[in-house]
């Protein structure tokens, strides 16, 4: 499972670059489909989710995530899985995008 850091702080699931979702979906153009725009009154939810996940006895590493990817043109794609160990999502003008995407030859 990739270790994920996300730099889109407008997402409801982002807490200080941690993604609080256990798994994320990535589109065929490498955008995060699990993004949900943060509302003002939700500002503390990601923090609670992250702290709760950190406290769970079976929590080994809260930055390890299942990544279900549809970008089959990416060099790191393997049957809906991502083979990268350290994945990064950045905020782009049209949404959060996986910056580890590399087009296959
Ligand atoms: S944009 Fe995606 S990777 Fe980033 S915090 Fe939201 S769900 Fe997680
Ligand atoms: S690196 Fe490639 S395979 Fe992994 S999530 Fe990003 S686009 Fe998908």
DSSP 52: H
The percentage of residues in the chain with a pLDDT greater than 70, rounded to a whole number, is 87
Can you name the residues that pair with 95 across neighbouring β-strands?
A: 92
| Nearest alpha carbon to residue 86 among 69, 104, 98 | 98
Q: Are 20 and 13 in contact (CB under 8 A)?
A: yes
Judge if the beta carbon of residue 21 lies within 6 A of ligand 1: yes
Tokens standing for 81?
């899985």
Judge if the beta carbon of residue 2 lies within 6 A of ligand 1: no
pLDDT tens, position by position, 4-46 = 999 999 999 998 899 989 899 999 999 999 999 988 766 677 7
| Nearest alpha carbon to residue 24 among 78, 98, 84 | 98
Closest ligand to the CA of 20: 1
Nearest CA to ligand 2 atom 3: 77
């Amino acid at each position: 499972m990739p270790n994920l850091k996300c730099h889109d702080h407008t997402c409801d699931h982002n807490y200080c670059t941690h993604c609080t979702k256990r798994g994320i979906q990535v589109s065929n153009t490498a955008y995060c489909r699990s993004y949900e725009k943060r509302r003002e009154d939700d500002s503390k939810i990601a923090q609670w989710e992250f702290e709760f996940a950190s406290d769970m006895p079976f929590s080994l590493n809260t930055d390890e995530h299942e990544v279900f990817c549809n970008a089959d043109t990416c060099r790191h794609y393997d049957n809906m899985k991502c083979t990268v160990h350290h994945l990064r999502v950045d905020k782009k003008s049209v949404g959060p995008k996986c910056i580890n995407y590399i087009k296959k030859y």
